[in-house]
A and B are shown apart, each in its own frame.
Chain A
Amino acid sequence: METPLFTYTLRLADNALVLGHRLSEWCGHGPMLEEDLALANMALDLIGQARNLYSHAGAIEGQGRSEDDLAYLRDCPDWRNILLVERPRGDFAFTILRQFLYAAFMHPYFERLSASKDETLAAIAAKSVKEMAYHLRHAGEWVIRLGDGTEESAARLKEALEDLWPFTGEMFEVDGVERALIDAGIAVDPAAIRPVWDATIDHVFGEALLARPRDGWMQTGGRRGEHSEHLGHLLADLQFMQRTYPGATW
């Protein structure tokens, strides 16, 4: 039986690990050396955040599950990440735009979560907010450079935006699990993040000469464990060692 706090912490952790894994897929494939390092650095931050959150989730659950158990031994329906982060990495424009959309949300989110009544969540957030500030700045600069760049880069960015936009709505969803935690001062109300996110998006898109799409149909389901097939492929890669050699350590 999952408690709301466990589910909530797991959602934050799964978002961080899945996006961190997607970024790590670029390692050795970046468009230039500096960017290869940047993507790997951001992946490392996210995986570090995930580790802290999984350890906390394991402690909340109290069944003795470690961070590794949670990362390596759960199958798709048990994952609670939003669909945005599991989309395949696409081209560089897709990857950097997704990073921007996510960081523009998570930076103000962690800022508020650092005042959570759950002391461990607050501590993890206070640490992570500094990292997200860097991700936001870096990804934002690239969005502008690509959007206001060549015909090719602008076209690719526009295409990425059309693909990604329907996945942004899920960041702002609140269900029963979270409502009670928000009221208790433990979780953050994403409605409070909306104006900050809007302002960041509008500012950067303005500089990038990128038209903001209308909010139409938004994809949903990841936070309830309903995933696209892409997560299964990602987990096959991420979990291969533990599935093939159960309990292997080194």
Chain B
Amino acid sequence: MMGEVASFPAKVVDAELATAHAAAAAVCDPEVPVLTIADLGVLRDVTRTENGIEVTITPTYSGCPAMDMIAMQVDLALEKAGIARRKVTLSLSPAWTTDWMSEAGKEKLRAYGIAPPVGKAKGRAALFGVDEVACPHCGSAETERVSEFGSTACKAHWRCLTCREPFDYFKCI
């Protein structure tokens, strides 16, 4: 199939790559449907290989059950976009970090009622370190952690002491 690719004018090939990128980038996280995998930093790369288009994704947590679903949705999105020769690859390195989340993504999270990760992920979370997390509903800084672990692997459970609402906090790792 190399000959076929090589026979395309360069701009047509690039257009297919751009289409593939746009289609993959628009896939939403099944657990946090306001975020695309591009917002999350789960989408790592879209490249052309000799076998067609290759999309590389990375899991947020080792056991994230959404990964199989995301891989399937990316494959489907590319098919719908008319990309016949495609492959979705899972990559573990470099390890995903919340630092890859876009600012737009963080804003979308907040509007959805999930507090976005605070600050930058440091090399090592200190024992008994305390985060300060603003309430995504009323903006108050008077909040407290209910549990390190929440409804999904990537979130912790917090509550606001001002408006009394519970909320999820997207953990900073």
Contact = CB atoms under 8 A, between A and B. Distances in A.
Interface in A129-179: 129-131, 133-134, 136-138, 140-141
Interface in B156-173: 157, 171, 173
B47 interface: no
B149 A34 contact: yes
A35 B64 CA distance: 19
A161 B94 CA distance: 37
B125 A134 contact: yes
B95 interface: yes
A200 B173 CA distance: 21
Contacts of B129: 137
Contact of B149 (A37, A120, A123, A200): A37
Given A34-B157, A38-B147, A38-B149, A123 B63 contact: no
Interface in A77-113: 111
A41 B153 contact: yes
Contact of B173 (A130, A138, A140): A130
Interface stretch (A44-52, A186-194, A218-226): A44-52
Interface residues of A, number: 35
Contact of A133 (B95, B124, B150, B153): B124
A136 B173 contact: no
Contact of B128 (A35, A122, A140): A140
Contacts of A119: 93
Contacts of B62: 45, 48-49, 51-52, 124, 127-128, 131
A181 interface: no
Residues of B in contact with A, size category: 20 to 34
Interface string A200-233: 1001000000000000000000000000000000
A44 B151 CA distance: 12
Identify whether the interface residues of A are mostly helix, strand, loop, or mixed.
Answer: helix
A116 B148 CA distance: 30
B92 interface: yes
Contacts of A133: 124-125
B153 A45 contact: yes
Given A34-B146, A34-B157, A137-B125, A122 B93 contact: yes
A15 B173 CA distance: 24
Given A52-B62, A127-B62, A131-B62, A41 B149 contact: yes
Contacts of A37: 147, 149-151, 157
A123 B148 contact: no
A48 B128 contact: no
A48 B93 CA distance: 15
A40 B59 CA distance: 18
Contacts of B95: 123, 126-127, 130
Interface in B10-61: 59, 61
Given A126-B94, A141-B128, A49 B149 contact: no
Contacts of A41: 149-150, 153
A124 B61 contact: no
A126 B62 CA distance: 10
Interface string A42-69: 1011111101100000000000000000
Given A49-B62, A137-B127, A140-B128, 8 more contacts: A42-B149, A44-B63, A44-B153, A48-B63, A123-B93, A127-B59, A127-B61, A138-B148
Interface of A: 34-35, 37-38, 41-42, 44-49, 51-52, 111, 119-120, 122-124, 126-131, 133-134, 136-138, 140-141, 200, 203
29 contacts: A34-B147, A35-B147, A38-B147, A38-B149, A44-B61, A44-B63, A46-B63, A48-B62, A48-B63, A48-B64, A49-B63, A123-B92, A126-B92, A126-B93, A127-B61, A127-B96, A128-B62, A129-B124, A130-B95, A130-B121, A131-B62, A133-B124, A133-B125, A134-B148, A134-B149, A136-B127, A137-B127, A140-B127, A140-B128
